[in-house]
Chains A and B, each alone.
Chain A
Amino acid sequence: MKEGILMQFVIVAGTPSSGKTSVMVHTIRHLQTSGQQVAVCKIDCLQTNDDVTYRRLGIPVAVGLSDYVCPDHFYVANLEEIEQWAGVQKADVLVLETAGLCHRCAPAVYDCLSICVIDNLIGINTPRKVGPMLSSADVVVITKGDIVSQAEREVFRYQVESVNPQARIMEMNGLTGQGAVSLKNTILNYPQFEGITGKRLKNPMPAAICSYCAGETVIGKSFQMGVVKKVEFESVDQC
């Protein structure tokens, strides 16, 4: 039998610029203090600098750029390999950070701890638009609470709760690291697991199998193949 890789598998997603990397850097520092070996993999589309930030912690970092492939599909297709890589690094905790993307897909996998980072500045009604990335997270970290009013913080948190009533909600400050130890404890208390193979995504990814997925650039019906969905326009009276 293959030797088992036992680790905490942490998936971090969130809206763009919400502070995913800052939140995780502070949390990883505390994990290191607790004697944990951490490995980080960052999935992005075209370019990322986050690996530099993570490397400063002196931990193994891998970067996956999806390039011409949908980053979420790319992410799922690489989970086994990422797990194996983390095993080679002898990681106790694997942090897999995905890019803040179109919000249609959600990276959450059953038995992995999925964290969604979202910030108070994106607007009070935005939690409803974020979709499964927020609603299927185990932990929701809300950042940038120090620069908005108490009232907005309360309303924003309420909106998050109404989208995902099961999640543990944590307020954190990505600049100072306030709240990072609570997140560390949550990670360490989450059951370790062995083997991503056979686990399931909490939400299926949408079909994206059209000619444009394959590199088509010309506009027009005759260039469209595969699953093509059209806008349904309401009929408008001519005047």
Chain B
Amino acid sequence: MLKKITILGGLNKIGLPEKIQKLEIQAGEILAVVGPTGSGKTQLIADIGQVAEAETLTGRRVRIDDGEVNSNEDKQKLRYLMAQVSQNMNFVIDMTISEFLMMHAQVRAVPNPEMVLKEVLAITNHLSGEPVTFETNLTQLSGGQSRALMVADVALLSNAPVVLIDEIENAGIDRLKALDILTGQGKIVLVVSHDPTLMLMADKRVVMKNGGMDGICYTTEKERHILSELVKTEKRVNRLREQLRKGKSLRSDYHEIDHHEEEELKLWQEYLYTCH
């Protein structure tokens, strides 16, 4: 069982040592990676993703449970340690959802694949708009549906102890639910994001600047309070969005709650409770 990941600092874009020379992420922790575009967020994720040993542009070294990853053989052993979801990823093969998921389940030797596949589909439809079926072809999926399926697949079939998430706020899915589903017990989750809600959902955040890790902020009590306000606002926005999407006209009272949605939310929370 994975206990922690350590990142030993390298150099920033102008060749100076990064300010943060050691960053530890414990099992069960969510780390947000923040900073302006071009500040090196994606590179940090890439360094972790390939378990860098000073060979990348930054010269960072990544330790898994304090151990060095020296050889390619070691790296082969770590191949299923991490899973990644990013806004740039697409499905490119011409196959139905069920055919493809079955293939992936076989590769990962998932026991009882039929059941897991049903769950993957249910989560996919929970995260995105128009429902898809097992017979839907991967190439027919919209951007949001694709991302929803990727999240569900990474959560249930890849089921890696480390999850790297790159800007899914632009992916057209319910990102808070997506984060819920990707963060399981004991998982290490890294979230690259420009979205304050996602940033504050993390336990701490590393601030990137000029290609280097420039600072670490721990989410404070005050920030947690702000987060709960943000989540409330967001729920309101979501509700309005759903109403508009369904072709309804908005009435003056935005607090009006759709009973069906409430029911769905309850089921979702119960589901999360049982699956973690």
Residues of A participating in the B interface, judged by any CB pair closer than 8 Å: 120-121, 123-124, 146-152, 154-155, 157-158, 168-171, 173, 176-179, 181-182, 185-186
Contacts and interface: CB of A to CB of B under 8 A. Distances in A.
Given A155-B103, A178-B46, A178-B50, A149 B91 contact: yes
Nearest to B43: A176
Q: Which 8 A-B pairs have the closest CB atoms?
A: A181-B55, A158-B107, A151-B104, A151-B153, A150-B83, A149-B150, A149-B89, A155-B107
A17 to B, nearest CB: 14
Q: Which of A147, A149, A179 has the most CB of B within 10 A?
A: A149
Nearest to A146: B88
A171 B93 CA distance: 19
Q: Which of A147, A152, A181 has the most CB of B within 10 A?
A: A152
B85 A148 contact: no
A155 B56 contact: no
Contact of A151 (B55, B86, B94, B157): B157
A123 B84 CA distance: 20
A152 B88 contact: no
Contacts of A124: 93, 95, 103
B250 interface: no
Contacts of A149: 89-91, 146, 149-150, 153
Interface string B33-61: 00000000000001000100001110000
A150 B84 contact: yes
B176 to A, nearest CB: 21
Contacts, number: 75
B158 A151 contact: yes
A182 B74 CA distance: 13
Given A150-B83, A178-B56, A120 B158 contact: no
Nearest to B88: A147
Interface string B114-154: 00000000000000000000000000000000100110011
Q: How large is the interface on B (under 10, 10 to 19, 20 to 34, 35 or more residues)?
A: 35 or more
Contacts of A168: 72
Interface of B: 46, 50, 55-57, 72, 75-76, 79-80, 83-86, 88-95, 100-101, 103-104, 107-108, 146, 149-150, 153-154, 157-158
A148 B92 contact: yes
A228 B137 CA distance: 42
29 contacts: A123-B94, A124-B95, A124-B103, A146-B89, A147-B89, A148-B89, A148-B90, A148-B92, A149-B91, A149-B149, A150-B158, A151-B100, A151-B158, A152-B91, A152-B92, A152-B93, A154-B80, A154-B104, A168-B72, A169-B76, A170-B72, A176-B46, A177-B57, A179-B50, A181-B55, A181-B56, A182-B55, A182-B72, A182-B75
Contacts of B86: 146
A60 B189 CA distance: 46
Q: Which of A120, A123, A155 has the most CB of B within 10 A?
A: A155
B15 to A, nearest CB: 14
Contacts of A147: 88-90, 92
A150 B50 contact: no
A150 B93 contact: no
A155 B157 CA distance: 12
A121 B154 contact: no
Contact of A150 (B85, B100, B101): B85
B60 to A, nearest CB: 12
Q: Which of B88, B107, B158 has the most CB of A within 10 A?
A: B107
B72 A186 contact: yes
A185 B56 CA distance: 12
Contacts of B85: 150
Given A178-B50, A181-B55, A151 B150 contact: yes
Contact of B104 (A123, A155, A182): A155
B154 A150 contact: yes
B83 to A, nearest CB: 5
A169 B79 CA distance: 11
Nearest to B93: A124
Contacts of B154: 150-151
Nearest to A123: B93
Contacts of B93: 123-124, 152
Nearest to B149: A149
Contacts of A121: 92
B55 to A, nearest CB: 3
Nearest to A171: B50
